Structure 1
C-alpha cells in the first residue's frame, strides 16, 4: 500500500516575531551601519561623483542579516565580506565576457552561489551583488574592477559597526555558540545523532550545529528541572 505524501500548504507560515527589544536593536543597528558605511563612502569619493557610487543596495540586505540575525552562519564576517566581494567579482566577469544583461545577470547569480558554496562564505546579498555588477558591467555604465572598491568598503564598514554594536548590546559577533555547563556521554551521543540527522535531511539549515546542540541540551535540562520539581503522582 503506497502512502501519498501531503501537498505542502501554501498558506502563510505562523509568525515568529522577535521580542520588541531584539527588533529595535536590529533596526537601530541597521540604521547606524548603513549611515556609517554610506558616510565613509561620501568621505572617500564624494556624494556627487560620477565615477563611483558611495553605497550599493546589497549593503542594505547585509545589514538586515548582521544586525537582525547576528547568530546566523550567513551573517558572520567572512560571509559578509567574502560573499559580497566574491559575488561582485563574478558579476563583473560575466558582464564583461557575455555583454548581454539578461544572460550575464542570470549566469552571474548561479555562478556566485556556486562560488560562495565552495569558498564557504554563503551570504544571500551576494546574489544581489552578482546581479548588480553583471548588469552594470554589461550596461552603458560599463562598471569595472574599480567599482569593487565600493562593495568592499561597504562590507568592511558594516562589519566594523556590527562588531562594535552587537557586542556592546550583548550579542557576540562573530557569533560564538553557548558553552554547555557540562558534557556527558549522552550529550556527545546526542551531538552525533544531531549531525547524522542533518546529513540525512540534506538541507541547509540556517543555524550552526553547535547552536542546535546547545539548544537541544538546554531544552533537556529544562525538561529535567520541570520533572524533578513536579509533585509525585501519589500527591496529585
Structure 2
C-alpha cells in the first residue's frame, strides 16, 4: 500500500495509538485545554479581575483537534480571528457600553473583518461578545486583554494542536497531499469508491458524505457533457 509522508494530509493511520476515531480529538482537546489553563493560571496568578482561560478557547479546541483539516481550524484563522474580534469588541464597548447594540454591531463587524482578512473562525464570535459585553475586569484591561490572557491562551492552544495532531498522524497546519498525474478517464465513480478513500484518509472533514458525492457526480456530469458522452 502506498504510504504518505509523515505530515501528509491523508494519513492511513495514526502513528502511536492506531485509529481511535473521535477519541483522538476528544483526548487532545481535553489535554490542550487543561495545559492552556494551567500555564495561564501560573503566569497570571489568582487575580480575580481577569479570566485565566477565555471561554471561547473551548470552541477553538473542537476545531483544532477534531477537524484539523478544516480551513476554519488553521493557525491564522484561529489567531487572527481571536485578536481581531477582541479588538472590535473593546472598541464597541468603549463607544456603546455593554448594550444590545454593542453586541450586535461587534458580531457583525467581526464577521465582515474575518471574511475580508481570510481568518474566519466561529469561536471568535464568542470572544467578541466577551469584550463587547465586558465585565469590570475585562473593561479595565482594555486592549491589554488581547495580550493577557487571550494571546497567551491562543498561542498555547495552537502549539498543543500542532504537537498533538502531528503526534497522532494528522496534518496540522493542514497541507494537501500531492497527487500524482492521472491519465484521461471517462467513467463513473461509485459511492463505495468515495467511502474507501475516506476510510484510507482517516480524516474528519467538515462536509457531509452526501455533499461530497453530489460534487463528485456533478463533476462527472460536466466531464461527460464536455466530451459529448
Same fold? TM cut 0.5:
yes
Q: CA deviation at 1:129?
A: 0.6
State the partner residue of 1:147: 145
Q: Which runs of 5+ in 2 are unaligned?
A: 1-18, 187-204, 221-229
Count residues with an aligned counterpart: 173
Tell me, yes or no, if structure 1 residue 23 matches structure 2 residue 22: yes
Q: Which runs of 5+ in 1 are unaligned?
A: 1-19, 188-204, 221-236
User: Quick one: structure 1 residues 102 and 176, their matched pair in 2 at CA, closer, same or farther if it must change by over 3 Å?
Assistant: same
- Bigger RCO of structures 1 and 2 (CA < 8 A, at least 6 apart): 2
2:88–2:110 contact (8 Å) kept in structure 1: yes
Point out the structure with the larger helix share. 1
State the partner residue of 1:166: 165
Tell me, yes or no, if structure 1 residue 178 matches structure 2 residue 180: no
Identify which of 103, 126, 129 aligns with 2:127.
129
Tell me, yes or no, if structure 1 residue 156 matches structure 2 residue 155: yes
The structure that has the greater radius of gyration is 1
Matches within 5 A, 1:193-208: none
Greater displacement, 74-83 / 49-58: 49-58
Residues 135-186 of structure 1 show CA distances to partners (whole Å, capped at 9, x for unaligned) of 00xx544241111121111111000000000011000100111221224567
2:37–2:153 contact (8 Å) kept in structure 1: yes
SS of residue in 1 equivalent to 2:21:
helix
Deviation >6 Å, runs of 4+? none
How many Å separate the matches in 2 of 1:90 and 1:111?
7
How many Å separate the matches in 2 of 1:32 and 1:110?
33
Matches within 5 A, 1:90-129: 90-129=88-127
